[in-house]
Every structure is written in structure tokens, then in C-alpha cells.
Structure 1
Amino acid sequence: MQELKTKAKAKFIATRLREARDARGIPTLTSMASLVGVDTSAVSRWEAGLSEPSADKVLELARALNVRPSYFFRPHFQHGNAPAFLRSLASARKRDLARQRARLRWLQEISQVVQHYVSLPPVDLPPHLQAVDYRTLRDEDIEGIASDLRAHWKLGNQPIGNVIEVVERAGFVVGRDEMGTTALDGLCNWSVLDGRPYLLLAEDKMSFFRRQMDTAHEMAHALLHRHVSEAQLREDFDLIEAQAFRLASAFLMPADSFALAARTPTLNGLLMLKDRWRVSVKAMIRRCRDLNLIVNDEATQLYKYYSAKGWNREEPMDRSVPLFQPKLLAKALTLIVDSRTRSKADLLASDFTVPGHDVATLIGLDSDWFSTGEVIQLAPTGARQPASTTSAGEIVEIDFAGHRRRPGN
């Protein structure tokens, strides 16, 4: 773990200020300056690393951005420069994109703290996917990848009840967040620090069926586009998005079994399939077209009927199934506290540099988790150091059910 130096010579990390400003949705230097009572030029110099705020101003920045003062002095975890894939990138505002990229980095930092104490499941992907070049992929290739993935994860050919659980078992780290816009559905990014794919899902839509597709879509980016550069993402955005949607659809609705179920697609017929296949009617229309169960004109007519019923806003049954939340980091953090490896208070005081409600919200716990159920404990002599120190903590391995076991067993 990286150590926060509390000595006077501790260096202010300029990029931390911009990250926190983005994460809090403060769009301009002027807005930030007004919150701490300085000129805009002062904030500009701080963010550029040309000068450092005084100790008093660091405290004011921490209060304004609702982070611990130590946040500004903890070096960044180095996750690499891989792009973050964001659904609906073309229609999203620049400030919303910046906010969610920063929040994704917070999720990755939370994960690093948790992994100091807990071993998460290893990343489990078919080995041959490492060499995939998105520029050579055809539709039939993507259909084959979906079949290979289902076989590798032993999912059979039937509907998937909860995609989040599937990808977390495979070593993905999944978070959730209120994105404040309907133009963003989720983000995906590979971290070179721990070699894991991270998914951050939008909490705003509150539809289980749409979340299934959002999760599968971001999973598809992780599989197909791991080595895509920022320049390639900008240049081939439409192709990359289309490939991710195709793989997500093929993964959720395998060609043979879904085609058999949807032999004569009608709007009401697809609605009857929704509860079993756990995807939206709109996604099923698209899948029927991909599988040539209907032609373009028939698909267009179904979309018109769909829109006329107002289903673009909300489909029938959207509110009938609870929204499944990520569990992996939530279970790991709960295990850390329940095993008395660290208390909630210790975690907030020494390990995390963002507030408890941010940590809890991002990993799928109730927002007040850190403020409830805390028991005052006396630390034994020689208690282990916090995650922000250089001494190694005890590693507790965790299986997906949250059972503690000794390393190697």
C-alpha cells in the first residue's frame, strides 16, 4: 500500500485536486475558487502544480470537496492509460464524462485498499481472448466468442439470472453510481496495477433488465477492446460500440436457444419472454434482427409500436424485479470489519481518503453503512498497521459467498 506522509515536507499532488473536482461535478476553476475564497488563478496554479495551497487552504479544499486532507498527499495508484469505455459517449456532456472517469478511479482506489486485506477471485477469461484484435472481428466471430465465454464459465445455453454475479465470480470488480444523466449507462476500464477489469454501472435508470444489458455491454468492452487506445476509441467509436452490443446480446441471448423461444416475434410475444430471458423487449427486438428472425422493415415496425406504447421511457415489468447490486467488494469489506481485521472507524481514519458514504455507495452497500452498527473495540498490543502504511497486512482470502479461509486452502 502507498503511505501518506504526514510530515511537513509532504508533497501536494496537483492532479488529486482536479480528480476531486471532477468527482464532485464542479465544472470550472471559477466555481472551485469561489468555494475556497481565492482567485481563479490560484486554483489554476494548484492544479497545474505551479504552486501549492497553504495548510489552511488544503483544509478548505478538503471541506469543499468532502475528502480527507490526506487525499491531496496520497500518490495516485497507477492503473495505466487504457481508455475508459463509456456507453452513449457521443451524447454525454464533457463534465459528466469527467465526473464518471474520476468516480471510476475512486472505485479502483477503494478496491486497492480492500485487496490489501482480502484476496479477490482471480480474473478468469478464456486465454485466446488475450489476442483478439477488434479490427478483424466479424459478426460470426463475436457470436463464437459469446459461445466460448458461456462454455468457459459453464453457463449452458439458458437465460442468465444475474450478470453482475457472473462477472464478479470471474474476477471483475463492479461498482455502481448515480450518474445524474441518462446519456451514460456505464464505464469499463482495465487496471494494469492489479490486472483486473473494472465496471461502473449507472444507478439512475433503476431497471434490472436494462442493467443486465449495461453490465454485459461493459463486460464485452473488457473482452474485445482491452488493448484499444484513446485514439482508436475516438476514430472507431461506432464500430467498437456496435461490437460490444453484439457480444452482450449474444451472451445474454444465445443464438440457438433464443431463436427457438422467439420463433414468431411480436411485441406481446417478446414481452412474454422478458421475465425468462431477463432482458428488455427493446434488446430482444434487436437480437431478433441480428439473428434474421425478422427483416429490417419488421424490426422498424416493432420499434414504432414499442415507441407508441411509451416503452422507451419504461417497459412493463421494469419495476417488478429488484435491482441487483454488486456484491464482491461489499462482501470483502464486510468481512474485513466482521473479522476485526479493521474497524469501520479505522478504515475511514487511515485507509480511505474519501467519505464513507462514497465508499459504500460505489461498492453497493447502503450509503450509511459506515455510520451504523459500529462497536467500540480495544486494539491489542501490536495491532496491524492500517492500509496506508508500508507494513504488510494479513491477507484474508474470500470466496464469492463471503466465506473466510486461510490462504492456500
Structure 2
Amino acid sequence: MFNGKRLSLARKRQRLTAKELAERASVSPVTITRLETGQNQADPATLDRLAEVLGYPGTFFFKEDPALLSSEIVSFRSLSSMTAKERNAALAAGDTGVELYEWLESHYNLPHLDLPAFDPGLTPEAAADALRQHWGLGYRPIANLMKLMEAKGIRILGLEESTANVDAFSFWQSDKAYVFLNSFKSAERSIFDTAHELGHLVLHRHGETSGADEDTRTAEIEANRFAAAFLMPEEDIRVRMPRLITAELIVRAKKRWRVSAMALAYRLRHLPKPMLSEWQYRAICIELGKRGYRTAEPDTVGRETSILWGKVLTELWSERKSLESVAAQLSLPIHEIEKLLHGILPRQEGGNPGPHTPVKLVT
């Protein structure tokens, strides 16, 4: 039976209003509304036009209900800066990502989730320390945060949204933890984004993160505090950083914790017992800005990629299969699978692995 919720998902993923879809498919807006609400069934001719306009296989519209994520459970950075189309497209990407991981779980043994529920009264810094101890990290730097999180059962995917308003988000769905990352930032800032979303999963699993503006701002600040403490533990910072701190020292030292120069300077200023005065912090920020560290990250560390998906694609290649075979099994267009893996795949010699031919990854 034709599923109107699937039509709504595909339309929103393509950032189309019901009116825009109706115009492109040469049907009335009322027809789209009736189809999406289940009042009507699509006749073959209408279905063919809708599938062609949206770029989805016709079989997609006969699948069971999608997850239908809501903005209340997804950790969007700022709903006020997002258009309705951007929000809906990102939520649709989340729905598709859930389905992709359900397929993955049915074909492979995935790591079990190891993300305990801590006391909601913990400060972000205390929660970061508790998670480090639970995972047996101590206070040493984390060599590869994405690899660590995947090993702990957190489901990570990419985004290709072509907008700075949707750079990363996370959510809980059916007791599974998901993180979606946009790779348009530097490697260091992407790592911080990853830790930021981990903070949301740890701190805000009991409540909403995208409610009122004030609640959203509070949640964002808490996630940033968690990320800073998780990536740059105070104990390690104090042991490694000397008393006399300069911009040049920060540029060299940031590589230890794989963070941006600005993030390290901010951390040094905002420790419980700051290692930088306000005057020193401002002077260092000005110097780092002159060197280009405010808008970019010269001499960047290597970008983290997904170990899990690298192994999956290697296995597909060994079976002479490609991402197209996965898309076909899920009744999805190949470009939607590509978007979900954008920026998180290991690079092949000569560029990114192509989805339309068997894939072999360099390990």
C-alpha cells in the first residue's frame, strides 16, 4: 500500500513544499496533501511522476513508516538560524540514516552501545570525567575520537547539506545513539563538533535539546563545556602546559589534543583556576587571528574517518558489490547513501571511493 509518510519524507529531503512538488509533478497541491495524509492512494501515472521528480525508486513509497524524527529530540545548534526547509531536510536525513543503520545491523555484528546514563545533576565537566573513567581513558589525549565512539556503539554518519546552519546534530532513537557530522569545517573543529554531540548524548538524553531558545542556548553551552573537558582534561593540561604561555606555544601544543588553537586558548582561560588572564587571552587571540587561526586551521591535523564504514565497504568490495547494491536493498537513491557517508569515508588513492563500482579502500 502506498505510504504517504514516505512521500512526505522524500519531499522534505528534497527541500520542496507541497505546492512546489505539485507544480513539478503536474498535480494539484490538494492531491499531494491527500496522498501524504493517507486519504488517497497514488495511481500508477501519478506515482511515476512523483518518483521521477523526487528521484526516488517507486518501491520507496510502499515501505513501512519511517522513524519520523522530530526537532524536539534532535540536537540542532540553533533552530532560529535554520529555515523550515533546512530543518525538515536534516530530519529526513536522520530518518534515512536510521534505516541505513538498521540495514547494517541486519547484515553485520555492530559494537554494542556503551554509553551509560550518568546522574543528570552532574556538571558537564564531571560528566566528561566520568565517561573518560568509564571508558578507561584516564587523562591521556584521544588519538581518534570517531574510532573510539564507533567502538563504543555510537552510530556516526555524515551530512552534505551545503549550509552552515546544519553542521552537526545527534539524537537517541530506540535506545540507539546517533551522530551526524558535516565536514565543511577544519579537522580540528570537526573533532570538537564530534565531542560536542557526544556531550548532548550524555547530558541531554533525559530531556529536549531543541526547545525554547533559552533552553537551546543552555544545552549548547553545556555540550561545549563537556567537549572541552573531554578532549582537554584539566589534569593533562596542567601537566603539559608551562607557566609562560604564548600564541606560538598554543599552536604547537594544540596538536597533542587535536583541537583548534582557539579552542585550546579558550580552555586555558576558562579552567576552574585559569592559566591565562583575560588580558593574556585577548592578546593571544589577536595574535592567533593575525596568523589565520580564527577562520581556518593552518598546519591542520589529519581528518578523522569512519573505521566501521571503511570495513563495511571493504567487505562489499570483496563480494564484488557497491553502494548501489545497498541503495537498491533499501529502495533509496544512491545519492542519499552518498550524502550519509559524505566526509566520513577513508580516502582512496586518487580521491574518494566511487559508489557506482566495487570499492577497495586503502587501510
- 1:152 equivalent in structure 2: 134
**Alpha-carbon distance, 1:309 to partner:** 4.2
Contact 2:327 2:334 in 1 (8 A): yes
- 1:357 equivalent in structure 2: 335
- 1:183 equivalent in structure 2: 165
Contact 1:117 1:336 in 2 (8 A): no
Contact 1:360 1:369 in 2 (8 A): no
**TM-aligned CA distance change 1:148 to 1:200, over 3 Å:** same
**Alpha-carbon distance, 1:288 to partner:** 1.0
Q: Deviations along 1:162-200, whole A, 9 cap, x unmatched?
A: 1100100000010111221123320101111xx211100
**TM-aligned CA distance change 1:166 to 1:70, over 3 Å:** same
- 2:180 equivalent in structure 1: 200
Identity %: 28
Distance, in Å, in 2 between the alignment partners of 1:233 and 1:113 is: 35
- 2:119 equivalent in structure 1: 132
Distance, in Å, in 1 between the alignment partners of 2:255 and 2:169 is: 26
Q: What is the aligned counterpart of 2:56 among 67, 71, 75?
A: 67
Residue 10 (structure 2) pairs with residue 13 (structure 1)? no
Structure 2 segments unaligned to the other structure (5+ residues): none
Distance, in Å, in 1 between the alignment partners of 2:210 and 2:94 is: 20
Larger deviation, residues 143-152 vs 285-294: 143-152
When the two chains are superposed, the root-mean-square deviation of aligned CA atoms in Å is: 2.7
TM-score, normalised via structure 2 length: 0.86
Aligned-partner residue type, residue 334 of structure 2: G
Contact 2:124 2:223 in 1 (8 A): no
Residue 281 (structure 2) pairs with residue 294 (structure 1)? no
Q: Equivalent residue of 1:86, what SS?
A: coil
Q: Equivalent residue of 2:181, what SS?
A: strand
Q: Equivalent residue of 1:293, what SS?
A: coil
Contact 2:167 2:182 in 1 (8 A): yes
* Alignment map for 1:9-408 (pairs within 5 Å): 10=1, 12-26=2-16, 28-78=17-67, 83-126=73-116, 130-133=117-120, 136-137=121-122, 141-192=123-174, 195-205=175-185, 207-229=186-208, 232=211, 234-263=213-242, 264-291=244-271, 292-318=274-300, 321-332=301-312, 334-335=314-315, 338=318, 346-349=325-328, 351-363=329-341, 364-365=344-345, 369-373=354-358
Distance, in Å, in 2 between the alignment partners of 1:288 and 1:166 is: 25
Q: Deviations along 1:256-277, whole A, 9 cap, x unmatched?
A: 1113333333322211112222
Greater relative CO, 1 or 2 (CA 8 Å, sep 6+): 1
Q: Deviations along 1:97-153, whole A, 9 cap, x unmatched?
A: 221121121111100011111120001124xxx2532xx34xxx3222222222222
Aligned-partner residue type, residue 204 of structure 1: F
Contact 1:79 1:191 in 2 (8 A): no
Contact 2:209 2:215 in 1 (8 A): no
**TM-aligned CA distance change 1:90 to 1:162, over 3 Å:** farther
Aligned-partner residue type, residue 358 of structure 1: E
How many aligned positions are there?
Answer: 349
Aligned-partner residue type, residue 289 of structure 1: R
Structure 1 segments unaligned to the other structure (5+ residues): 1-9, 375-401, 403-409
Contact 1:179 1:203 in 2 (8 A): no
